[in-house]
């Protein structure tokens, strides 16, 4: 009887050990990840992949996701089947032995979600890296066939690229959860916008549906003109890559033990950078955007300039006046501003430029750029194009380099009050608007001279 009891306990212990063992990888056709079983854990135990139900305990929908392993409040950073929940605990993740694809199976072993490898392989293995990236690797060539970092949810982690692979036209962008119980993408998104055909200058943008909601402006070599907090500091390092093959932003932590993430929220309509405070066991907001009324996209309309702290906050750029003064008086700035004196393309040699400093550069949707051109040649390029309304350096490091020119109306400009923020923008003006002596004063002096 004692021997039987000992053997029974031994079998139970062995079974428990097997079922609770840490899974570090999944092979093709050999191992599976089951709902209710052990999660897939990264080698350094930073992240884990498993099944979960978001929100309240009443939510029975099951999703496959990645979260921090050692943070007590489950913080999900990526979801596979965002819009295809499994209605029970039948979920199973496996690798298709015939083509190497990753498959998530649900009720009756139906395929709920899967990868779509361009090249079939029969030697694949799934790994969860310590940076939170889930990778499907070809074990023969040791190449990565698919990675979760290329398909973000609502969270940007350190080392994750936000932007474009122009070779495959892959757009890595964030999309908020619909709500705290539904990870299906809402209509609040964040990414890098560009138009290869127009060769416009890429920039960071957030949208609510199709409408632009917030712009931090284009990268200028140090940060962005509309988000001065992106400049280098003791916590983070930033990089923006702009080549013929890729356009992306990436950040990292100088202190590798620090934990930080960027997340967008459909309910509050903000993009937050959060830092985990171990002592208090909580996430602390480091910064969020939009920060104020001047961060709201195009709040002052076309050719307007927003100055936070002024009352009202909206002004027309110098050389411009409200399109509809009555609306402007009622603080309805949506129609923006128009020129005091129209430009005359036939006499463009008499045009000049007014420099305004410390501003967030205008929306670059209708722009052109060249990273080799100097500022003098940039000015000439703008003067020789009747549609060009402004120009600036694309890179402000050192003495400045590169060229960006804008066509048509200028929108979403804001003025910063403190020094060192924003950039110089050169706005095209007719000669009459560039006189240092006001017209009325000039007439008075001329009359006095005649007498």
pLDDT in tens, 186-201: 999 999 999 877 778 9
Which residues have a Cβ under 8 Å from the Cβ of 324 and sit 6 or more positions away? 335
- Among left, alpha and beta (phi > 0; psi -120 to 50; other), residue 358 is left
What is the bridge-based pairing of β-strands 102-105 and 111-114?
A: antiparallel
Edge-to-edge strand ranges of the sheet holding 33-34: 33-34, 92-95, 102-105, 111-114
| Kind plus residue range of the DSSP H or E element containing 164 | strand 162-165
Give the chain's residues under pLDDT 70.
Answer: 1-24, 28-30, 232, 348-349, 419, 435-451
DSSP, residue by residue, 358-386: EEEPPP-TTEEEESS--HHHHHHHHHT-T
Strand partners, 353: 428
Query: Which two tokens mark 337?
Result: 């501003």
Place of tokens 């993009």: 271
pLDDT of 13: 36
What is the bridge-based pairing of β-strands 320-322 and 111-114?
A: unpaired
The whole-angstrom separation of Cα 183 and Cα 67 is 14
The whole-angstrom separation of Cα 247 and Cα 98 is 35
pLDDT in tens, 111-163: 999 999 877 787 899 999 999 999 999 988 899 999 999 999 999 999 999 99
pTM score: 0.89
CATH number for the segment(s) 294-433: 3.50.4.10
pLDDT of 29: 56
pLDDT of 419: 67
Domain extent listing, the chain: 22-149, 152-291, 294-433
pLDDT of 167: 94
Handedness of CA 344, 345, 347, 353 (dihedral sign): positive
In the CATH hierarchy, which top-level class contains the domain 22-149? Answer: mainly beta
| 290 cis-preceded (ω within 30 degrees of 0) | yes
């Amino acid at each position: 009887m004692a021997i039987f009891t000992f053997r029974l306990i031994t079998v139970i212990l062995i079974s428990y050990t097997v079922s609770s063992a840490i899974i570090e990888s999944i092979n093709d056709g050999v191992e599976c990840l089951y709902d209710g079983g052990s999660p897939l854990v990264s080698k350094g135990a930073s992240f884990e992949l498993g099944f979960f139900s978001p929100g309240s305990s009443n939510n029975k929908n099951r999703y496959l996701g990645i979260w921090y392993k050692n943070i007590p409040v489950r913080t999900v950073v990526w979801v596979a089947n965002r819009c295809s929940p499994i209605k029970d605990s039948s979920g199973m993740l496996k690798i298709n032995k015939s083509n190497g694809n990753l498959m998530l199976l649900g009720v009756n072993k139906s395929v709920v979600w899967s990868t779509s490898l361009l090249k079939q392989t029969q030697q694949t293995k799934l790994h969860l890296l310590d940076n939170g990236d889930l990778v499907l690797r070809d074990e023969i060539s040791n190449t990565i066939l698919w990675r979760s970092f290329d398909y973000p949810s609502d969270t940007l982690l350190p080392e994750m690229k936000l932007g474009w692979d122009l070779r495959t036209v892959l757009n890595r962008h964030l999309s908020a959860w619909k709500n705290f119980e539904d990870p299906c993408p809402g209509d609040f998104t964040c990414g890098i916008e560009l138009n290869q055909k127009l060769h416009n200058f890429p920039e960071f943008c957030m949208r609510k549906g199709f409408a632009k909601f917030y712009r931090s402006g284009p990268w200028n070599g140090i940060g962005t003109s509309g988000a001065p907090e992106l400049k280098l500091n003791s916590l983070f390092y930033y990089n923006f890559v702009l080549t013929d093959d890729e356009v992306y932003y990436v950040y990292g932590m100088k202190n590798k033990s620090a934990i930080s993430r960027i997340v967008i929220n459909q309910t509050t309509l903000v993009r937050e950078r959060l830092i985990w405070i171990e002592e208090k066991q909580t996430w602390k907001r480091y910064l969020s955007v939009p920060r104020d009324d001047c961060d709201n996209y195009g709040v002052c309309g076309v050719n307007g300039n927003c100055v936070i702290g002024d009352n009202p906050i909206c002004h027309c750029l110098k050389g411009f006046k409200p399109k509809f003064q009555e609306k402007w008086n009622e603080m309805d700035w949506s129609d923006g501003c128009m020129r005091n004196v129209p430009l005359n393309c036939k006499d463009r040699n008499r045009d000049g430029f007014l420099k305004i400093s410390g501003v967030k550069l205008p929306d670059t949707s209708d722009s052109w750029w060249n990273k080799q051109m100097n500022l003098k040649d940039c000015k000439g390029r703008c003067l020789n194009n009747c549609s060009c309304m402004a120009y600036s350096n694309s890179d402000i490091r050192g003495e400045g380099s590169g060229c960006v020119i804008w066509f048509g109306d200028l929108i979403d400009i804001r003025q910063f009050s403190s020094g060192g923020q924003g950039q110089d923008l050169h706005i095209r003006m007719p000669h009459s608007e560039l006189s240092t002596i006001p017209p009325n004063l000039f007439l008075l002096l001329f009359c006095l001279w005649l007498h």
